[in-house]
Structure 1
Amino acid sequence: MKNDRFEAIYSQGTMNVTEIWVDKETGVNYLFRHSGYAGGLTPLLDREGKPVISPITSQ
């Protein structure tokens, strides 16, 4: 089953990778970071501590 809910909009690095993913249903932006076998995902927050939300484009 293919999951098209998330889209990578930014990627940097090869061994130590930093990516920004957008949830296409809610518009919430997430920071994904991985290095080797370790990684983590967290929502991106603005200065007020609220999630960064991108406009949702229809497909």
Structure 2
Amino acid sequence: MGKERFIKVYSEGTLNVTQIFVDKVTGVNYMFHCSGNAGGLTPLLNKSGQPMITPISDYE
């Protein structure tokens, strides 16, 4: 397969897991949280309500 689109940049916890991923195409940051068999994914927002963007060059 080709290059992976998402890179995990942060992770904590074992039963209650919180992770942050960066989309290497758009630079958008996403937070994933799961507890047991339930979980959710959401984009991280800045104080203006816009998606947080990481410069893509940071992951090339």
TM-score (norm 2): 0.89
2:43 maps to 43
Identity of aligned residues (%): 59
Q: Deviations over 1:9-32 (max 9, x none)?
A: 000000000000000000000000
Superposition RMSD in Å? 1.6
1:16 maps to 16
Query: How many residues are matched?
Result: 59
Once residues 8 and 31 of structure 1 are traced to their aligned partners in structure 2, the CA distance between those partners, rounded to angstroms, is: 10
- TM-fit CA distance, 1:2: 6.5
Question: Which amino acid letter does the alignment assign opposite residue 26 of structure 1?
Answer: T
TM-score (norm 1): 0.91
Q: Deviations over 1:18-49 (max 9, x none)?
A: 00000000000000000111000000000110
- Greater percentage in helix: 2
